[in-house]
Structures are given as structure tokens and as C-alpha cells.
Structure 1
Amino acid sequence: MVYRIHFTVQDLARTRVAEAPMPLHELELAARALQSRGQPARLDAWRHRARAQLSAQARVALALMPAVGYSPGFLSPAKVGAIEDLLEQVRSTPRERVRTSLLETADRHPSLPRWARRLADDASLFAELCTGLSDLHTCLLAPYWDQFTELLAADRTLRVQQWLTGGVEQLLTQANPQWMQWNSPVLEVRMVGGADRDLYLDGEGFLLIPSMFCTRAVVTDGRPVCVSYPACPDQRPRELTALASVSGQAGSSGTSMLLGRTRTVVLATIAEYQGCSTKELAARAGIAPASASEHATVLREAGLIRSLRHRNSMLHSLTPLGLVLLNSSEGG
């Protein structure tokens, strides 16, 4: 079964990729991944840690975010911002909107907990839900937020390259080919919940949202319509299985490898020309392509740059660690 998303010329012109993380939207996707039995084995360690840390209030919030199906829209808006500000917006949601959102969810999700129907009128229960939402973020996302931000930046580098070389058509075709298929002017999104539906964008645009925890495609039927997709899926296993040691990877052995002048030039060049290919890097740094590839490999293994393959090219961008090192060397 599929969602068929119909584009107009105006919608194609207004198609874009999320420019920054959306904490509550990603939290819903993480909550779904936590409960889904069909998720990859790479999430097992994360699931085990998270389940052991869930508070009673977090489980209340989790009950409204099923593995498959609908959840109340006011809980997980697709908005950019600090998590504290977004949680405060949830706490301030007008009760009439809470009531309407719950009725809409109940129509689509018959197994919605019976106690949820009291949320609009029970201030104490609603406060417990909001506390649970905050606890859920602390448990599922907060420890991994820096890695997610870095992953999203890397994914945007790849999507920009796709847009530059093939336009919106290539962007929609390659963002998530396993679950999304572009048959102009319709984007078909495969659904696991059996939904079969036509969505018309009506000129209001379309938003792609890269996600660390999404492993398929998730449609958010709002304005604009959003589709979440796996960000750089070939790199996510390392992000999720080695997160405990990521912050310690700036060891002396990695840094000492950067003391040479040429490698410093390569790092600075990547910082100035984010997303450059190895060929472009070599030309701008004034070295041979083979040498540029060798230096990029060392920088990548030291955690200072990230490289993504696009067609026959490797695209290089700076990591936060690389930026810190570069800024400190310039300051010295």
C-alpha cells in the first residue's frame, strides 16, 4: 500500500530538505524505533539501554507514539528549535487543539489508550505527559544529539550535490529509493501500516527530513507535507554502536597525524569548500589527486572530516571536531 503525493510546479519549486534537526519529530521516530520489532539488529544495544532507563512518565508518553500508526500531532511538531522551547510549546498547547488532535488520532488509531481521552480536561495528567516527553528525550535522544547533528549535516551535503547534478527529480529519486519512487508528478511512498491514500500538496511545498532513527519512510500529513527518511544509512551503524566512544576519539594519536603542513592545508580547504570532491580538493590544495585521497583518509580516520560517496566521487566535509582543531590552531 502507498501514499501518492501529488506535486504541482509550485510544489517542486518549494521542495526542500530540513536545514536543522527537529528534536520532537526525531523523538517520535526514536520512540517508534524503540517499540518496533522489525528494526535492524544494530539498534538492539540502544534499545536495551533505553528500556532500562525509562521512567514511569516516559512510558506514558511512549504509549502515544506507537511503532506503526498515528500519534497526536501536538506531541511531535516538525519544528526546528531548542528542545526546552519546543517542550514549552507542547505544554502551552490550547486544550481545544489537544482535544481535536486526540479525536483525529482515535479515528485513525483505535488502540489509543483510553486514559488519553482525558488529556484535554485533566491538567495533572497532561502535565505528567509533558514530563514524560522530556524524560523520553533525555533517554532516547540527548546522549546522541551531537552525532545526529553531524549526521544531518553530512546528509545535507549529499542532497545538495544530488540537487546540483540532477535537480529536484534526482533528489526525490535518490533520497530513499527503497521506500520512495518518483513517477512524475507523483511521489509514491510505500507504507507498512496498510495505508493507501492520495495527498495533494496544492502548491504549499514539500519537506524531506533526514533522520537517524527512521529506517523506512514516514509521512507527516501536515502543511507542508513531510517525509522522513534514513539519513546516510550506510554510516548510521557506526553512529549508533560506537556512540559511547565518539567523544573520546580526539586522542593524541589522531591529532599528531595532522601536524604536517600539507595535511593542515587539506583540512583548511575542506573547511572552506564543504562537500568538495577529492578531485576538487586536490586542485584547490595544489596536490595530486592520489595525495588528496590519502590525506583525506587519514583525516577521516582521525574523526576530523566525513566523506560520503556520490556516484563515482567522494564528497568531504568538516566534522565539529575538525572545526575545533582548525580554530584552535588558527587561534594559536
Structure 2
Amino acid sequence: MIEIPLRRSGYGTVRIAESRLWETYGSIGLLSTRRGLAPWPYAHWDRAARRSLTRAEVTIPGWLVHLYRARGGALPSFLLVVPRPSRGDLTADLAALAAVPAARVREELEQWFPQGVPAEVHPLYADPRARLAELRDFLPRYRRAALAPYEAPLRVATEEDILLRARILATQGPERLLGSLRGRRLSRHGDVLRLHGSAASTRTAVPDVSRLVLVPLVFGRGAPYSASAPDGTTAVAYQAEGAAVLLGEARPPGRRGAADDPARGDRLEILLGRSRAGVVRGLVAPTTTSDLAAALGLAPSTVSEHLTALVAAGVVRRRREGVRVLYELDGPGVALLRHMDNRRRVNAPDA
């Protein structure tokens, strides 16, 4: 378990950033720890990725597999790079891995394995430079084979989650944002944020941080990742919304039909019609009628009509905040998205 103090002076600066490196690690961890028994909604991707890796003759290094299994999917921090404010590609992170000192690798491995570094990981301990070079060669080949077919939906899911969290941060502050990060790998206890690994993992306390970076991962379910930079920045992974994009191929681009013409295979649109389904999907965070209309490209009167019907049905609730009237999903609306939506995984609303 990793404990990160969240005193007010410690997370005055909070930002949300994507990381292709961390997302890649998360997917590898799923393959390494589940051994072909991936949970929903990863099972389809798991089978396709294993077939693709076999055809491409790409094999996960044995020492990396053992690191995942040793700590319930966690990785030592020397493999993780704190995401930068500007959006970069995998190349920049791989270059940072090349600069990791061998002494740091050995020190962290000794902390991870106080009873002695196991034989499976000893190649990394004996020659960190060679093994990290192997990793830098492996990761792009792995990503092309296992993740390239899902590149577009992964990017959309991550960007949508960042927009969702950014809205919460801007309108309700960091306390509410941290409270929205739910999952069995990430929990909050008072002023401490905890990342949970396996039951056998030791407890590690991170010094007070000057900046906190939240990293959304579609493959974040089994990825209790944390890394710190010399300037006091600490990055923490969390499970992003939208992992259901891995259930199948993304909807192909093309001209959309009428506003209420459901897309083939979209169960929520078949049930509600396209525009009303869009309203439901737009309410994963509290919003006003005008903001929702602008986001969906619909007339405010049309959105208002849909909201009135959804409130009457108990799917959406309405509350006043100052001079604004906010709409958000109620419990039945959350259940509807969880069971009918092809794209989103949403948390239950606050009581």
C-alpha cells in the first residue's frame, strides 16, 4: 500500500494528465496477472491482444511479468515517468527510462524484495541498463500489436474522462474531485490517498507533495501506480470512465442520420432515441440546460423537454445551486448507463 498525504498545502496544485506509457503498462499488467481470465469489459480485448501478440511474435519479458505478479499489478517507480503538462508521445517517456540510474533500480528492487531479489527478476538487478534497453525496444512493438487497433477509442475515452474530471475540479474543487475517484485500487481516508496493491504488499509513505497529478487509465482497474519527481510532484493513476470501449470495435465514421435515428448496436439509443440518449450521457456530471444544449448541439428547448421527461421518469434529478439549476443522473440513471451504454462506466451519485 502506498500512502500519499493530502494536506491542503500538499495538493494546492492538482492537474489531470494522460500517459501512453502508464496506459501501456496497465494493459500489460492485465495480461500478466489475469492469465487469460480478464474481467468485464476487458475479455474481448484480452483475447484479441493475445492473438495479435502471438502473430507478431512479441513476448512480455519474464522479469516484467514477475514484477506485476509480485505486488498485485503494481510496478516500482523507476519504471514510471511523471506525465508532463504538455501532451507527448511514448518516445519522450522511453527516453526518460534510458536515464534511470542503475543504482536506483537496484535500490528499489531491494526494497520490493527484502528477502532477496527472486531469480525471475535477477536479470534486471544484475544488468539494469540492458534490461531497460530491452524494455524500450519491447514497449513500442507491444503497443503496435496489442493497442493500435483500439487507439482511437482509447484516446476518446481518456479525453472524455479528463474533461469530466476537469469540470468537477473547476466547479467543485479538489476535495470533490478526489472524492469522485472510486475503485478498489484507490481509496481516501481523511487526508491520506491510498493505492492498494496485493495483500502482502508493504506500506510506503510518500512525503508531502507540492503538486498532485491524476492519471486516467482505461486499463486502470489493476494498476495501483504512483511516481514522484524531484520537484515534489506526485502522480497517481486511477480508473477512467469509458472502459467499455474495449467491448468491440469503435463505431465507424460516417454521416449520422436524424437526431432520433438510433445507431446500429447502440442499445441506449435504440431504447431512448439518439438525442435523449445524448442527454443522459451528458449528465455524468452536474450541468445546466444551456451548457448541455451547447455541448450536444441541440436547441435549449429540446434539451429542456428531454430533461423534463427524464426527471419525471426518475432517471435524472434537479437541484438548485445559487442562481443555477443543475441536472445530474439519479440512481436509476446510473444503473441505466451501466447496463445499457456501450461506452461509459459511471459512479453512483452522491446521496
Equivalent of 1:104 in 101, 108, 112: 108
| CA distance in structure 2 between the aligned counterparts of 1:283 and 1:34, rounded to whole angstroms | 41
Q: TM-score if structure 1 supplies the norm length?
A: 0.68
1:228 equivalent in structure 2: 237
Cα displacement string for residues 246-304 of structure 1 (whole angstroms, at most 9, x for unaligned residues): 152x344xx232599xxxxx9xxxxxxxx88362247763424344569xxxxxxxxxx
1:160 equivalent in structure 2: 166
Q: Is 1:211–2:250 an aligned residue pair? A: no
SS in 1 for 2:99: coil
Query: Which is richer in helix?
Result: 1
In structure 2, stretches of 5+ residues that fail to align are 262-275, 277-284, 309-326, 334-351
Q: Is 1:23–2:20 an aligned residue pair? A: yes
CA distance 1:83–1:188, shift in 2 (3 Å): closer
Cα displacement string for residues 190-229 of structure 1 (whole angstroms, at most 9, x for unaligned residues): 4334334252442422222111011156141423222211
| CA distance in structure 2 between the aligned counterparts of 1:141 and 1:185, rounded to whole angstroms | 36
Task: Say if 1:25 and 1:78, in contact at 8 Å, map to a contact too.
Answer: no
How many residues in Structure 1 have an aligned counterpart in Structure 2? 283
CA distance 1:71–1:203, shift in 2 (3 Å): closer
Question: Over aligned residues, Cα RMSD in angstroms?
Answer: 4.2
Task: Say if 1:87 and 1:130, in contact at 8 Å, map to a contact too.
Answer: yes
2:2 equivalent in structure 1: 3
Task: Say if 1:53 and 1:139, in contact at 8 Å, map to a contact too.
Answer: yes
SS in 1 for 2:194: strand
1:303 equivalent in structure 2: none
CA distance 1:86–1:183, shift in 2 (3 Å): closer
Taking the TM superposition and a 5 Å limit, the aligned residue runs for 1:99-138 are: 99-109=103-113, 110-111=117-118, 112-120=120-128, 122=130, 127-138=133-144
CA distance 1:88–1:236, shift in 2 (3 Å): same
CA distance 1:129–1:12, shift in 2 (3 Å): closer
Task: Say if 2:50 and 2:146, in contact at 8 Å, map to a contact too.
Answer: no
Q: TM-score if structure 2 supplies the norm length?
A: 0.65
Q: CA deviation at 1:189?
A: 3.7
Q: Is 1:51–2:50 an aligned residue pair? A: yes
CA distance 1:278–1:136, shift in 2 (3 Å): same
Q: Is 1:186–2:173 an aligned residue pair? A: no
Q: CA deviation at 1:163?
A: 2.7
CA distance 1:64–1:88, shift in 2 (3 Å): farther
Q: CA deviation at 1:231?
A: 0.6
| Code of the aligned partner of 1:34 | L
| CA distance in structure 2 between the aligned counterparts of 1:174 and 1:121, rounded to whole angstroms | 39
Taking the TM superposition and a 5 Å limit, the aligned residue runs for 1:32-111 are: 32-37=29-34, 39-54=38-53, 58-60=59-61, 62-63=64-65, 66-69=68-71, 71=75, 73-80=77-84, 81-90=88-97, 92-93=98-99, 97-109=101-113, 110-111=117-118
SS in 1 for 2:219: coil
Q: Is 1:287–2:301 an aligned residue pair? A: yes
| CA distance in structure 1 between the aligned counterparts of 2:300 and 2:41, rounded to whole angstroms | 41
SS in 2 for 1:227: strand
Identity of aligned residues (%): 19
